[in-house]
Amino acid sequence: MDNRIISIQSEGRHDFNLGFQLMFGKSAKLKATHYFEHPSKGFILLWNEYKWRFEQPTGISNILSASKLPYAMGWEAASDLAWGWLQEREEDEYQEYLDHDGSDGKGFRIYNEQWGHVADCSYAILGLIPVHAWYGK
């Protein structure tokens, strides 16, 4: 299915693993082989090599290649890798801070965009962004 769009915003390892299972789908053949840390789209797992072209305000283009993973990873190994990445994020990297009468924790958003892409990359499996989890009184 090419028009499947998923966005899961939650917290905790159980929900994180369920999100990865859903994003990798029913295919046991789908493996993450590369990753990229995009400035606004977060940690992106890819099923193939990819090069991004970024336009600078000066008009100069930069081309950045996705990094190769040490081995092809199914959803479980990819989830372990991404969970470790998420645990290393600093507080100022978390999005959706809300100054409210409650408290905040560390959550995540696992997602894809139109046509299953992330950041216009057709090789993306998913994107991961650290977000604040909100707890009301």
| Amino acid letter, 63 | I
pLDDT of 89 strictly over 80: yes
Mean pLDDT of the chain: 87
| Distances from the Cα of 18 to the Cα of 62, 76, 79, 137, angstroms | 35, 10, 10, 27
Helices and strands counted in the chain (H then E): 2, 8
How far is 94 from 102, CA to CA, in rounded Å?
17
Percent of the chain predicted with pLDDT > 70: 91
Q: What pLDDT score was predicted for residue 85?
A: 97
Q: What pLDDT score was predicted for residue 94?
A: 78
pLDDT of 100 strictly over 60: no
Task: Pick the more confident residue, 120 or 130.
Answer: 130
Q: What pLDDT score was predicted for residue 99?
A: 63
Which of helix, strand or coil describes residue 75?
helix
Where do the domains of the chain lie? Answer: 7-131
Kindly report the pTM of this predicted structure: 0.87
